[in-house]
């Protein structure tokens, strides 16, 4: 029988700062994220190249996959492939590596994340008050 040790969000954020790889935080459980493929990165780069010129002169900010999302309503910290914020990004604390107010979230699907990104992830994202659009490729 496997025993899962739960940690607090504060412990996760410290651990994440020191870790050599990214992890998600799901209500006390830390889940290591799988690496991405060259094709995945190429698709993300191409989508970034399409979105950035469209919002460059507007009051939006586009973030890449290293910007963590905090979803307090479901106690989740996660990383999307791309995130757009309308206006100023909202940070939950003095750190500037986690945002709480995305309006557009982009996920490039892989075989291992397809079902999760279309189901559970979307359910989490829908609890964010600023969230408006979900682009899944």
Please report, for the domain that includes residue 96, its CATH number.
Answer: 3.90.1570.10
Run of H or E residues at 118: none
Kindly list the distances between the CA atom of residue 7 and the CA atoms of 10, 11, 12, 43, 96, in Å, as whole numbers in the listed order.
8, 6, 7, 34, 22
Domain range enclosing 25:
9-136
Tell me, yes or no, whether 47 lies in a domain: yes
Q: Mean pLDDT across the stretch 57-82?
A: 95
Q: Is 40 part of any domain?
A: yes
pLDDT of 119 reads 63
Kindly state whether residue 3 falls inside one of the protein's structural domains: no
Averaged pLDDT, 44-67: 94
Note the pTM of the prediction, 2 decimals.
0.89
Return the structure tokens found at 38: 């060259």
pLDDT at 118: 63
Query: Is 15 within a domain?
Result: yes
The answer to whether residue 33 is domain-embedded is: yes
Q: Where does residue 135 rank: exposed (0-12), middle (13-18), buried (19+ CB within 10 A)?
A: middle
Residue 4 lies in a domain: no
Total domains present in the chain: 1
What is the average pLDDT across 49-56? 94
pLDDT tens, residue by residue, 28-49:
999 998 888 899 899 999 999 9
Would you say residue 1 has pLDDT above 80? no
Residue 116: per-residue pLDDT:
61
Q: Which residue has the tokens 């870790």?
A: 19
Q: Does residue 1 belong to any structural domain of this protein?
A: no
Q: Is residue 2 part of a domain?
A: no
Q: What is the pLDDT of residues 84-132, one digit of tens each?
A: 999 999 999 888 999 999 999 999 987 666 666 566 888 999 999 999 9
CA angle 110, 47, 43 (to 5 degrees): 40
Res. 80: pLDDT tops 80: yes
């Amino acid at each position: 029988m496997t025993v899962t040790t739960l940690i607090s969000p504060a412990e996760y954020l410290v651990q994440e700062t020191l870790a050599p790889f990214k992890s998600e935080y799901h209500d006390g459980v830390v889940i290591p994220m799988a690496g991405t493929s060259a094709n995945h990165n190429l698709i993300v780069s191409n989508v970034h190249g399409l979105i950035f010129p469209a919002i460059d002169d507007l009051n939006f900010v586009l973030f890449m996959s290293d910007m963590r999302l905090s979803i307090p309503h479901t106690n989740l910290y996660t990383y999307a492939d791309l995130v757009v914020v309308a206006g100023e990004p909202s940070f939950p604390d003095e750190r500037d590596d986690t945002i709480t107010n995305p309006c557009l979230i982009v996920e490039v699907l892989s075989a291992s994340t397809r079902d999760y990104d279309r189901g559970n992830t979307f359910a989490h994202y829908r609890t964010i008050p600023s969230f408006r659009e979900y682009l899944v490729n």
